[in-house]
């Protein structure tokens, strides 16, 4: 969970509790990523993952970004800040990060916003790293299989934060596929193990996706409210604040569709925000920080999945334990044995 929520403490706590914690490399420098990897290693000897953003193609329309800059001028004045520079690199330091991950391997590397090349996947496989590619359609899953990935993370439209769509295309807006439907389509398209993600907040939901063909489940929003999460306090509070009842996919903050709580900024600027990632991310970065500093959640990117109201403020390790207990109970019911009967699973799988 790039943008502040992901911390070495959170990743380590999840891994220590028997899940698979993940570090966000997105928006960090290669060295920043490496320092966090070292911190995780100092906190746990259990496996963990590192998530990379794929480099973005040059197709943002600079004129559209300038129009959006003008449309946000009033916001900058209101929050007494500047809009950011959009003449930015589009690769998120990808090659430098990969070089570190090849030299000093981690157990798992996952990719979002695109599919890595076969060569890069093979280089990681040679050093013993498991690779995962996030997909939002069966076609993207096939591309990941073709590239030699070990597994795909099947991301339903319910998911909080950015959709990992391989190529952002405004023509397919509002065509996002719900997790259960997507999972079945991907199951029938590829042979790879599947990690289901999007809107999962309870162990019973994890049982449901495992029954529907997933091998593992990945949760984001559920962990945003843990004390180990670096999400801003206002973001954490907003997730269960009755003033924020809806989520929507929007390009307002970053230029790429991402699901967040509907606030004033999203409502006002979402309708015309251009498809220009990461330019819009950098354009609005200072604004979002200024709003947070002013204590105003109405112009912050309050990323949240559709299940946000089910968030429980528990330490990460406890949350993993509760999820596993719920998963076991649900599996026992599915197997027709009641809460504590045989066939309830050994409680070691399911929560990532
Ligand atoms: C605050 C936040 C940041 C996220 N950042 C990333 C990221 O850096 N890389 C990534 O692959 N997915 C990212 N995601 C998406 C998650 O990997 C996952 O797909 C999503 O959280 C699942 O839906 P849920 O939030 O309803 O559990 C992020 C999600 C949230 C909520």
Ligand 1: centre distance to CA 222 (Å)? 10
Per-residue pLDDT tens digits for 144-157: 999 999 999 999 99
User: Is the distance from CB of 251 to CB of 60 less than 8 angstroms?
Assistant: no
Per-residue pLDDT tens digits for 246-270: 999 999 999 999 999 999 999 999 9
Query: Computed from CA positions of residues 127, 96, 274, 220, in that sequence, does the dihedral angle turn out positive or negative?
Result: positive
Q: What is the per-residue pLDDT for 338?
A: 61
Ligand 1: centre distance to CA 15 (Å)? 17
Ligand 1: centre distance to CA 198 (Å)? 8
Residues of the chain with pLDDT under 70: 338-352
DSSP for 310-340, please give it.
Answer: G-----HHHHHHHHHHHHHHHHHHHTTS-TT
DSSP state of 224: H
User: Is the distance from CB of 118 to CB of 148 less than 8 angstroms?
Assistant: yes
User: Is the distance from CB of 260 to CB of 269 less than 8 angstroms?
Assistant: no
* Atom number in ligand 1 closest to CA 308: 26
Question: In testing the pocket of ligand 1, which one of 4, 49, 162 has its CB within 8 Å of the most ligand atoms?
Answer: 162
pTM of the model: 0.95
Show the ligand 1 pocket: residues with CB < 6 angstroms.
1-3, 5, 24, 26, 51, 112, 134, 155, 158-162, 164, 197-200, 218-222, 224, 303, 305, 307
Q: 8-334 maps to which CATH number?
A: 3.20.20.70
Atom 8, ligand 1: which residue's CA is nearest? 2
The span from the CA of 213 to the CA of 188, in Å, is: 9
Ligand 1: centre distance to CA 77 (Å)? 31
> Residue 197 is inside which H or E element, if any?
strand 194-197
* Atom number in ligand 1 closest to CA 307: 26
Query: Which residues are CB-neighbours of 347 under 8 A, at least 6 positions away?
Result: 324, 325, 327, 328
Q: What is the per-residue pLDDT for 346?
A: 45
């Amino acid at each position: 969970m790039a943008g502040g929520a992901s911390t070495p403490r959170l990743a380590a706590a999840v891994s220590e509790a028997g899940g698979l914690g993940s570090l966000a490399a997105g928006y960090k420098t290669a060295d920043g990523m490496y320092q966090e990897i070292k911190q995780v290693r100092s906190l746990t000897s259990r496996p963990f993952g590192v998530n990379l953003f794929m480099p973005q193609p040059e197709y943002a329309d600079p004129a559209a970004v300038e129009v959006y800059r003008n449309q946000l001028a009033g916001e900058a004045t209101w929050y007494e800040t500047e809009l950011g520079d959009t003449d930015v690199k589009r690769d998120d330091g990808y090659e430098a990060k990969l070089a570190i991950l090849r030299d000093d391997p981690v157990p798992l590397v996952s990719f979002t916003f695109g599919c890595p090349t076969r060569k890069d996947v093979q280089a990681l496989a040679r050093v013993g790293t498991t690779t995962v590619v996030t997909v939002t359609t069966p076609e993207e899953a096939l591309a990941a299989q073709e590239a030699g990935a070990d597994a795909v993370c099947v991301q339903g439209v319910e998911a909080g934060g950015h959709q990992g769509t391989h190529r952002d295309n405004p023509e397919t807006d509002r065509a996002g596929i719900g997790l259960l439907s997507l999972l079945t389509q991907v199951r029938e398209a590829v042979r790879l193990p599947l990690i289901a993600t999007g809107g999962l907040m309870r162990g019973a939901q994890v049982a449901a996706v495992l029954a529907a063909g997933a091998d593992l489940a990945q949760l984001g929003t559920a962990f945003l409210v843990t004390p180990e999460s670096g999400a801003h306090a206002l973001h954490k509070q907003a997730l269960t604040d009755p003033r924020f009842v809806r989520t929507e996919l929007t390009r307002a903050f970053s230029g790429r569709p991402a699901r967040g709580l509907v606030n004033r900024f999203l409502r006002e600027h979402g309708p015309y925000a251009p498809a220009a990632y990461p330019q819009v991310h950098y354009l609005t970065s200072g604004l979002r920080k200024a709003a947070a500093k002013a204590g105003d959640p109405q112009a912050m990117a309050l990323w949240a999945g559709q299940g946000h109201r089910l968030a429980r403020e528990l330490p990460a390790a406890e949350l993993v334990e509760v999820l596993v207990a719920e998963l076991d109970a649900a599996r026992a019911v599915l197997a027709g044995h009641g809460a504590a009967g045989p066939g309830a699973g050994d409680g070691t799988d399911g929560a990532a």
